[in-house]
Structure formats: structure tokens, C-alpha cells
Structure 1
């Protein structure tokens, strides 16, 4: 079914729509920026497996959750005012040079400082949110920092079928092999109860976009959070990336992204898979893959014009709004 899609100049938020977005990094920031246009009650549930850059250094030095993805989520939810924009820029400011502060984002230092003063990661993040006048809440997905392990095929070009274990988010993201599966240490990490409660009580849950293995699928490796995602009454939307073949997903199609999710959590069903038409090379095959996880396919142009790898916040927000307003049992595969 094909229907006209008109991009609104603005979107009026639904104040009583409880939306939870799961992910990490730039992908989660894109969905949060879009969701601010449709809801004043957005909760971000953020991966805590980063081991590189400023986050990795602070994680190692102070035995804390890596703050970088949490910081990015907070700035994505900042109030659309001079105050919010200024504090967003302050949190994102990164120090230059080779000294002890070189490479650190000021927001990471602020978050870790609050954690040392308060000794409660969620309370510290809530305080930063109040400072930013954030239109939503940011929660870590786990109570402890996680270490990622991936089974990777073909790291050695001389033996393309050889499989090896690659450890750490940074190493997985830049592997030259093909990532086949992901795991975490500890194997059964505790979820933050606030994150579990948010998922169970949501009207809508958004999974993706983002680095498929290290930002999206990691949420399915926290048992309590995974169970909440399976059992929630929320409308679950899986958002596919605008670029299929990345360092983590070399040569992957849209269908293979869904297959990896299904193999990671076969009991998880979603209601809608949202994809930009530009990533669909086999629509019938993609619709079958969507059906295998209980979903219907919704095609929307959500990229920025002239910047095919970047989401347009208004387009993505309008797509989410449209999907969530469709009757639950009569959507069908639609193209906008």
C-alpha cells in the first residue's frame, strides 16, 4: 500500500505518550531528538559497554559506568531553549591537548563527579537532566559496566572461515572480520530496575537505530530487561539503520539485521519494523523477515535530504507518530 506522506513543519507532542528508546551513541541520539517532537515523556535506556576514549579512561580509572553514551542521550533531550542549548554545548565540549584532560568531554567529568558525590548513577543523571531542563529521563540499562565479546569470522584474511573471539566494544567496532554473535560479561548482568519499570510501563518502545551489535542487540543480553521487552504491552518499533554495511555489519542486508536480532532473542516479537526505502533491496524478503519476528514493515523516507546516512529529526519523528497512530491490527506494509 502506498500513501502520500507530508512532512510537517512541526509536530505537537503527545504529553501522555510514554516512550522508551533503547540504544547508544549517535543512533540513540537520533531517535531521542526525533521522539522529543512527539512526546514529553521520553525515557532513554542506554548501553553501558563503551571501553574507548574518554569513557573508557574514566571507566578504568574510577570503576564507574562509561558516561559517554549517557551524556549524548542527555544532550539529545535538552530543552529547546537558549539555556538548554548552552548547557548541551557545555556537556559536549571536549578538551584539546595531550594532558590529563585531553580528549575528555566535560559532560563525562561532570557525570562522574556527581556519581562520586551521590553514589547513585540514576540520581546523578537525573540531576544533569534537571540542569539541562531535559524533556525526558536517561537511564543505564545495567547496574554494572559490561564487557562485550563477539564471535567473528574471517579476522585472518588467509583463513576466511576461521572464527575467533574479539573482546571489547572498540575492538569489535573496528574488526576486519564479520561479526556473527555478541555476548556480555558478566553473563547475567543486573538490569537497573528503573529501566525495567520504564519498559514495562511504556506505551511505545523504540529499539535502534545504532551500531547493531554493540548498541542495539546488547539490550537483549540483560535478562531482566530482555524479559521486560518480551512481556511489555507497549508498541515495539525496530528502527533499521540508514547504512546497512558498517564496520560491525560488513556486507549485511536489512534482512540479515533482523535475522541477527531473531537469533539473539528468538522469543522477542515487535509490532513494526521502520526502514528507509533506500536500504531495501528485496522488499518481499524483508517483509518475510519482519513477519518472522511478528512485525509489519513500514517504509518512510527518514534521511536528511542530501545526507543519506543522517536521520532527519522531523521526518523520523513524523514516522514514529504516524506508526503509533495507526490501528494496531490493520496496519499492513506501508510506504510513505
Structure 2
């Protein structure tokens, strides 16, 4: 099908990006996931605290959701240690990526080695190969550093920033420049969707890209400060971060009556039968293909 030949870039982190990438699995190498690398919690945060480097958890999650052929390799990659001691809670995939990163010239090489091992054709690219943390400026002017602390704010921050400002991965920028469709979300808005847009090179590429930009809404209200933000506010944050470029399409389970009429809203049943807050892969794939057909 013609739309399967179009190039798609999906931006975000964690479960949301993994869900989109797995929904677009049939597009193969025509899909690139640009993954947030600022997580500082859980197994990822513990590894960063003692080893440094970028956060691997969201990348591992995306790869996990793209595995189509169960194998010993995939079981090892998904294994999480239990019990007492320092290994408790660590995911072996995080440790493997960290080890391969230490053995490789670039973190992207570590990802590609795992992709090859697990037969994942979708491109997975970290937003940056340099470690950085997400920070937020509160409305009172205080700076809160660390993704986990940002998620615990009592209200939405005044703005987000990266500390330090790091360069974007060149492959991520090139993929955006060559894309036919760019997908933002679903997922944690402040800590998954927004961080890549704070990188100057990605921001510039998004502003200039001829691709359509689509925002996929969550199916349930987020916990934390992002849950207090309206859809209109989220879109404004995205657009402000990409130099005023407008989001073209908003995909969601219903029409948001308060949203400006300039936005094209695509309404579709996207919920999984088992978990109403989780996007169904097949439904999501069909909805995205319909947007591509209308391009």
C-alpha cells in the first residue's frame, strides 16, 4: 500500500511511544522513533547515578514492544531481577544497553546491535547521545531538576528546560527533515513528549519540516501536573517549542469542543478492549493510516 512507503517519525518516550511504534510495525524501516533520554527514576536512574550516560529505560521499553519473535534473546532483554541486594529491580535490558554503550563509539550503535539481535526493523534513535536532565521552572521562579521531581509538582510549571543543553542526534534531525508525518504522543506530556522538542536542532527541524504534525491524545487524564493542563495548553506548549509551527491534526477518542477550529480533529475508537486507557495497536494503526491517506 502506498501509505506504507511514507516516512513517519514518532517522538516521545516510555509506554506511549512504544505503543505507537508497535502500531506502525508494518511500516518497517520507514518508521523512526525519537526517544526521550532524560528519565532519572527506577532502574534507569540507579544506573545513571553510578555509571552516567543517557537514560535507557524508554528505549528499552520501545524495543520490547517491537519484538515480534519470542526468543532466548528477547527473554534475556526483558528480564528483571527480583530479590534482595543491589540487582533487585534492575532490568537486564538496561544493563545490556549500558554495557554495549561502554563498548561502542556511540550510544546509537548499542541500540542498533540490540535491534539486529532481536530482529527489530523500526529505527530507534535517542533524542541526544549526551546525558541531560529535565528541569522545570515553577511559577514562583524556582528551578526543579530531575524528571521524577517534575512529575511530582503540585501544578504545571511555567516552563521546561534541559540541563545542560545538549546536541540532538543527527539521525533524529535527518529523519524529521525527511518525514511525511510526525507524531507527538501519547504518553506523559511533560516528561516524555516535551523533552525532545527542547533541543534546538529538533525544534528547528520541526519548524521547517513539510511533514504533517499529528498530536495523539491520551485516553485518560494523566496523574501529576500535566493532568491539570488542557489540550489547548498542551498544543500551545508544543508549538511554542517548535518556533510557532502549528500542529496539523489532533487524534483522539472524541472531539474537544473547546479546541480552536483551525485544528483538524480526527475522532476514532482507539481504546484496547482490556484496558480502556491503553491505545489498541490495530485501531491506532488504522487511524494513522487514514491520516496518511488524507495527506
Shorter-chain TM-score tier: over 0.9
Figure out how many residues of one structure are paired with residues of the other and give that number: 295
Moved more, 258-267 or 317-326: 258-267
| Structure 2 SS opposite 1:307 | coil
Q: Say whether 1:184 aligns with 2:162.
A: yes
- Correspondences of 1:282-301 after superposition (within 5 Å): 282-283=256-257, 285-288=258-261, 291=262, 295-301=263-269
| Structure 2 SS opposite 1:101 | coil
Match of 2:19 among 26, 30, 34: 30
1:231 match: 208
Q: Say whether 1:140 aligns with 2:132.
A: no
Name the TM-score, length of structure 2 as normaliser. 0.92
Q: Say whether 1:172 aligns with 2:160.
A: no
Deviation at 1:316, TM superposition (A): 0.6
Q: Say whether 1:75 aligns with 2:79.
A: no
Q: Say whether 1:151 aligns with 2:127.
A: no
1:107 match: 93
Q: Is the 8 A contact 2:214 2:249 kept in 1?
A: yes
Find the structure with the greater CA-based Rg: 1
Q: Is the 8 A contact 1:18 1:39 kept in 2?
A: no
Q: d(CA) in 2 for partners of 1:263 and 1:195?
A: 20
Q: Is the 8 A contact 1:38 1:317 kept in 2?
A: no
Q: Which has the higher helix share?
A: 2
| Structure 2 SS opposite 1:149 | strand
Q: Is the 8 A contact 2:3 2:292 kept in 1?
A: no
Q: Is the 8 A contact 1:244 1:253 kept in 2?
A: no
Q: d(CA) in 2 for partners of 1:103 and 1:245?
A: 25
Deviation at 1:163, TM superposition (A): 5.4
Q: Is the 8 A contact 1:95 1:102 kept in 2?
A: yes
Q: d(CA) in 1 for partners of 2:12 and 2:174?
A: 17
Deviation at 1:202, TM superposition (A): 1.7
- Structure 1 pair 82–143 and aligned structure 2 pair: CA distance change class (3 A): closer
Deviation at 1:45, TM superposition (A): 0.7
TM-align CA RMSD = 2.0
Q: d(CA) in 1 for partners of 2:109 and 2:274?
A: 41
Q: Say whether 1:54 aligns with 2:72.
A: no
Q: d(CA) in 2 for partners of 1:235 and 1:206?
A: 9
Q: Which ranges in structure 1 are unaligned for 5 or more consecutive residues?
A: 1-11, 154-161, 329-336
Q: d(CA) in 1 for partners of 2:107 and 2:5?
A: 26
